[in-house]
Amino acid sequence: MDFSIILRTVGSLALISGVLSIIISVAEKVLNNYGTCELDINEGQKKLSVQGGSSLLSTLAGEKIFIPSACGGKATCGLCKVQVLEGAGPLLPTEEPYISEQERADHVRLSCQIKVKGNMRLMIPEELFNIREFNCTLESITDMTYDIKRLRMKLPAGETINFKAGQFMQFYTKPYGKVKEEVFRAYSISSKASEHDYLELLIRLVPGGICTTYVHTALKEGDQVRLSGPYGDFYLRGDCEELIMIAGGSGLAPIRSLVYDVIEKGLPHKMRFFFGANTVRDLYYMEEFAQIEQEYPQFKFIPCVARPEPEDNWTGDTGFVTVALQNQVDTGEGKEAYLCGSPGMLDACIKILKEKGFTDQTIFYDKF
Amino acid sequence: MPQISPFIIFFASIITSNMILSNFLGMCSYLSVSSEYKTATGLGMAVTLVLVLTTVINWVVYKFIILPLEIEYLQYIIFIMVIAALVQILEMGMDRYMPDLHAKLGIFLPLITVNCAILGVTLFMVIRSYGFFQSLMFSLGSGLGWWLAINMLAAIREKLKNAKLPPGISGPALSFIITGIMAMAFIGFSGIFTIQ
Amino acid sequence: MKENPKNEQFRDTMEEGELVKDGFLGEDERPVDEIIAADQALLAGAGFTAERIGAAMRTLTRQGMAGMGEEVDAGEYLVKSEEYMGLIGCPFKDNHRAAKRNTTATRKSTGRAMMWTDLGIHLIQKHGFFQGKGSPYRLEPLELAAFLGLEAE
């Protein structure tokens, strides 16, 4: 074997691949490095200098501006819309299904899909600036029913939260089992708005759900829990004499917060809370609401069990919550309705409410 | 080095020796990406850019590294390495400056690396012993010719989207028939220019 | 002719622990497009379409919804629909949000029961996707067509 052939072969291949690798690395540094970008928010109200290269959603979160999202940046929830007047680049194929014609004209984009590559001009609704992140400690995790757990979390020392009763928090899980990344899901706050250093959430186990399985199997007392919030348009308007509240399952959470809010603020509204459960096993907070009923005559608690067993000795309303609603509420005059539950329950109840004269302006529920 | 003017080579490589219609090289992405006109234009642009840069760089590498060191047996490997590196850089650039086109092209962008038209142009340059300027014009013309062919097919396919076609013919079969008819039409140009 | 595997980009939402705990692919290593095409071929050979199967599932689910958690007598089937709060996005990122509803249907004549989710109906009806082999929610297309009592065309 001629030594010089081996030398030339190996040498030239090594040289050429070496040079090409260096060129690619340099190109990567230049092309993938977006440098510092200036974000102009709300026409100069806020100006941020950020490192480019990440999605707008995560870049803003890094600057403590939390845009609502339910899917963690996977473009399946469509909640992270932000108006980007300049600097977003052309509309991406992944954004197309979520942005309507009108929104495209208004420069609305999915912030989880667009990368910060240069200076940008954004418009962010004022209320989103109130949203903060909290690293709470899980003080207690209690079984309320066979599939609902109550989490009571203490905020870090010195930090407080101001929320409107009815709003929700984003709850961040940690990787567990086969789930390799954190996910976050929205849960309504069930604690009193007057408590500024604690948060309570009611979480029902959903079969196959990433977050609820985490809460029901991996979470322990004393764990650190990350939350952000408060979010949401579901809160008390009160432009009426009576509040009709309807909930099922873990939907009780924001209603509990609302009821305490009205009582603690001494508001004059009458309240009727229709709580729908499939079986007696699905009921919880029974004593607490019975007590409130006793102390505050303005509040009436109407639990409805769809299928009570004879041995339960159930004396309350039987049947679906829609039956009680139909029979016990006469008109929508002077009333507002607050609902929280599964889509089927919401649809059935809203239909009845509208028949009774409630309108889109007097019916409130979370749509996520 | 053949005694042909680079400008004649330029026109010949577009018309009489079109990469797709005369040499049938680079058919894979040609057939797959020609369903949408805008994406086809984007890919044509990318292929032309890659062709020009790789041919020029490969000419330099051939003349100053491969020939002096007498390692002609390594030319295939070395040419492919250069093409692969360039396509990588092109991908990064596209992701930055044209993200929507980058998303639309999908896997066909890195597939330019194994597009036989790219390696084909380089090897033609070697076989025909073109000089620098001739190689430059040859690659530019081949790229533009490829771009022209894919644009023509995309335009025809877009027009045919609403046509009533016999079942079984639409899809790949129709693309082949159209390409064949276009190739036959281009034979009419033969003899106007010589490529070698 | 090589096709751009346009559904492969959705793998990031289909793996386990991304959108749902067990994912939509089970142990299936095949590209998403291949899974859909294979099931499509099975159905076409037997004279069914995913669209018809999805529509039949939706009819049963609607009948179950009237029961609001209680089992409903729907002619040849007993159907029960259970719901949870909230909506779940579609892994194909098409702006569809499905209710978290589990429908269990039992065929009276055979006693056989099958379970599906609202999202599962959308995946079958709009995307022809029956989920990968080994996924806990995968329904075999031909078994499902037989269970639903569909006639071959």
Task: Find tokens 């989880």 and name the residue.
Answer: A112
> In the β-sheet with A108-110, what is the strand arrangement from edge to edge?
A46-51, A36-41, A120-123, A81-86, A108-110
Q: Is residue C152 part of a domain?
A: no
Residue among A267, A24, A321 at smallest CA distance from B81:
A24
Mean pLDDT, to the nearest integer, of A339-350? 91
Contact C2/B28, CB-based, under 8 Å?
A: yes
Q: How many angstroms separate the Cα of C13 from the Cα of each of A176, C8, C9, C118, C137?
A: 17, 10, 9, 17, 16
Whether the CB of A32 is below 8 Å from some CB of chain B: the reply is: yes
> Where does the pLDDT of residue A224 fall: very low under 50, low under 70, confident under 90, or very high at 90 and above?
very high
Whether the CB of B106 is below 8 Å from some CB of chain C: the reply is: yes
Beta-bridged to residue C106, according to DSSP, are C78, C113
- Strand segments, DSSP code E, in A144-280 are 148-154, 168-172, 184-188, 198-204, 224-231, 242-248, 270-277
Percent of chain A with pLDDT over 70: 99
- Give C 2-41 residues with CB within 8 A of chain B: 2-6, 9
- The domain locations on chain B are 6-187
Contact A90/B99, CB-based, under 8 Å?
A: yes
Q: Has residue A70 got a pLDDT over 80?
A: no
CA-based nearest distance A125→chain B, Å: 27
The number of domains in chain C is 1
Q: Name the pTM for this structure.
A: 0.79
The encoded tokens of residue B119 equal 């390696």
Q: Has residue C27 got a pLDDT over 90?
A: no
Three-class SS state of C23: coil
Q: Which of A74, A251, A343 minimises the CB distance to C87?
A: A343
What is the predicted ipTM? Answer: 0.83
Q: Which of B65, B71, B93 minimises the CB distance to A31?
A: B93
Whether the CB of B78 is below 8 Å from some CB of chain A: the reply is: yes
Out of A30-44, A63-77, A195-209, A291-305, least confident range: A63-77
| B1/A288: higher pLDDT | A288
> Where does the pLDDT of residue C67 fall: very low under 50, low under 70, confident under 90, or very high at 90 and above?
confident
Contact A97/C16, CB-based, under 8 Å?
A: no
The pLDDT mean for chain A works out to: 91
Q: Has residue C4 got a pLDDT over 70?
A: no
Give the phi and the psi of residue C99 in degrees, each rounded to 5. -70, 155
Q: Which of B31, B108, B111 minimises the CB distance to C1?
A: B31
Q: Which residue of B has its CA nearest to A13?
A: B78
- Strand segments, DSSP code E, in chain A are 36-41, 46-51, 81-86, 108-110, 120-123, 132-143, 148-154, 168-172, 184-188, 198-204, 224-231, 242-248, 270-277, 299-305, 317-318, 335-340, 363-365
Q: Which residue of B has its CA nearest to A26?
A: B89
Contacts C1 to B, Cβ<8 Å: 28, 31-32, 172, 175
Q: β-strand A224-231 against A168-172: which pairing, if any?
A: antiparallel
Contacts C101 to A, Cβ<8 Å: 342-344
> Where does the pLDDT of residue C3 fall: very low under 50, low under 70, confident under 90, or very high at 90 and above?
low
Contact A115/B100, CB-based, under 8 Å?
A: no
All domains in chain A, ordered by first residue: 36-128 (3.10.20.30), 132-231 (2.40.30.10), 242-365 (3.40.50.80)
DSSP state of A44: T
Whether the CB of C97 is below 8 Å from some CB of chain A: the reply is: yes
> Where does the pLDDT of residue A368 fall: very low under 50, low under 70, confident under 90, or very high at 90 and above?
low
Q: How many angstroms separate the CA atoms of C139 and C42, rounded?
A: 13
Q: How many angstroms separate the CA atoms of B188 and B21, rounded?
A: 12
Q: Which residue of A has its CA nearest to C17?
A: A179
Show the domain range for C51: 8-147
Contact C99/A320, CB-based, under 8 Å?
A: no
Q: How many angstroms separate the CA atoms of A201 and A218, rounded?
A: 16
Q: What is the pLDDT of residues A88-137, one digit of tens each?
A: 888 888 888 899 999 999 999 999 999 898 899 999 988 888 899 999 99
Out of A252-256, A320-324, C68-72, C82-86, least confident range: C68-72
Q: Is residue C1 part of a domain?
A: no
Number of helical (H) and strand (E) elements in chain C, helices listed first: 5, 4
CB contacts < 8 A (B, C): 19
The pLDDT mean for chain B works out to: 90
